[in-house]
Amino acid sequence: MEGAYNSRTPEEVFRDFRARRAGIVKALTTEVERFYGLCDPEKENLCLYGLPNETWEVNLPAEEVPPELPEPVLGINFARDGMDEKDWIALVAVHSDAWLLAVAFYFGARFGFDKESRRRLFNMINNLPTIYEVVTGTAKKPTKEKTPNSSSKSNKSAPKPQPPRHGELHTKPVPVPKLKEEDESGDEENGEEREEEQGSALCGSCGTNYGTDEFWICCDVCERWFHGKCVKITPARAEHIKQYKCPDCSSKRARGA
């Protein structure tokens, strides 16, 4: 399948990167129970692969030498029972981030990207949080450079999410990071910053940015936000949920019971 890959531009390589990344994010978040079960330490060296169709698989490394693409780290299953599960997942996430970069820049070399094309590719990749950041929850607190002269035309032209009604906190729009106490809440500049930061909120499942036309839901346990479609929750169903727990938190609670 990889041999039929014919991308020639940084944008096409980035789409491949983003799709493989989405698959791995699923494996380490919403589908972590299945991933955990497949990584049996009694089996041979196993690798976690992100696939171009936004899915993932745990499999043995390719037999051909050299392989068509750089290989993920070998033997992720061996450490599964010898580490705290959370630390093990974070370690797999770090190695997966390194593998995704290796694959992207392998394509860059293979297709003869010049300096400017490599820069474009890296900039697009760098605008996404790492898988490690998504898995550990640090992606929900992005740092934002101050741009006093920037405008928020795109946000101002789009419909503004409405505040939640009392008792329906799980259906509220994705929140912006808290501002420092000394900031004035009524200040126009702060209002623009909120709009910009709201646009940088990230889904705890697929890791993509918040959009005003999408339904999101917040886990009341880990306080991560998710696309409703990623966790299979509709706005109508959310209306009847008093306390929402994401798949990851629900599975952890089940294991600890």
Question: If pLDDT is split at 50, 70 and 90, which confidence band does 157 have?
Answer: very low
Tell me, what amino acid is at 73?
A: V
Rg over CA atoms, the chain: 20
Cα–Cα distances (Å) from 66 to 13, 69, 75, 103, 142, in that order, read: 21, 8, 18, 14, 38
- Give the contacts of 223 (CB within 8 A, at least 6 positions apart): 140
Structure confidence by residue, pLDDT tens digits, 81-140: 999 999 999 999 999 999 999 999 999 999 999 999 999 999 999 999 999 999 998 865
The answer to whether 170 and 238 are in contact (CB under 8 A) is yes
Tokens matching residue 106:
């392998």
Q: Residue 7: its pLDDT value, please? A: 54
Q: Residue 200: its pLDDT value, please? A: 53
Structure confidence by residue, pLDDT tens digits, 24-33: 999 999 999 9
Structure confidence by residue, pLDDT tens digits, 6-58: 558 999 999 999 999 999 999 999 999 999 999 999 998 999 999 999 999 99
Length reported for the chain: 257
| 0.85 exceeded by pTM | no
Q: What is the mean pLDDT of residues 147-174?
A: 43
Q: How far, in Å, CA of 135 to CA of 178, rounded?
A: 21
Mean pLDDT of the chain: 77
- DSSP secondary-structure letter at 242? S
Q: How far, in Å, CA of 18 to CA of 8, rounded?
A: 16
**What percent of the chain is predicted at pLDDT more than 90?**
43
Tokens matching residue 212:
């005003």
